[in-house]
């Protein structure tokens, strides 16, 4: 059941990224940046970038979720997985954020 939930979450997240890309007219050079963040870090990034998409991931689903997203968002997910390799995964739910560094909030 857990793997099914992660698959659905990944599918919905990719769907939202694609819809947002079209809705806001992203150009070819505007790519999503993905980051893991706490709630306070999320608020800071929400004040800086727009649009910003987020999804909360349970710790036990973290690696599975990243594996599922890696096929579509290779480099963006790769840097997160590399950084997690040296850190211990938090026991609390974490936010996976997607934003474009070229789209600052004014």
Average pLDDT taken over every residue of the chain: 87
In a domain, 11, yes or no: yes
Rounded CA gap, 49 and 20, in Å? Answer: 14
In a domain, 76, yes or no: yes
| Range 48-71 average pLDDT | 90
In a domain, 106, yes or no: no
Place of tokens 């850190």: 87
Task: Specify the pLDDT at position 90.
Answer: 65
In a domain, 104, yes or no: no
Q: Beta partners for 34?
A: 98
In a domain, 105, yes or no: no
Task: Specify the pLDDT at position 17.
Answer: 95
In a domain, 90, yes or no: yes
Place of tokens 């857990």: 2
Grade residue 79 by pLDDT with cuts at 50, 70 and 90.
confident
- Number of domains into which the chain is organized: 1
Domain that holds residue 16: 2-99
Q: Check pLDDT > 80 for residue 3.
A: no
In a domain, 31, yes or no: yes
Grade residue 85 by pLDDT with cuts at 50, 70 and 90.
low
Q: What is the pLDDT of residues 94-105, one digit of tens each?
A: 899 999 999 998
């Amino acid at each position: 059941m857990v793997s099914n939930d992660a698959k659905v979450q990944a599918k919905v997240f990719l769907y939202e990224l694609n819809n947002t890309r079209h809705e806001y007219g992203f150009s070819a050079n505007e790519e999503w940046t993905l980051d893991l963040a706490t709630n306070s870090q999320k608020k800071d990034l929400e004040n800086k970038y727009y649009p910003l998409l987020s999804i909360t991931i349970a710790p036990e689903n973290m690696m599975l979720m990243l594996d599922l997203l890696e096929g579509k968002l290779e480099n963006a997910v790769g840097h997160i997985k590399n950084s997690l390799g040296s850190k211990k995964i938090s026991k609390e739910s974490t936010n996976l954020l997607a934003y474009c560094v070229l789209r600052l909030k004014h």
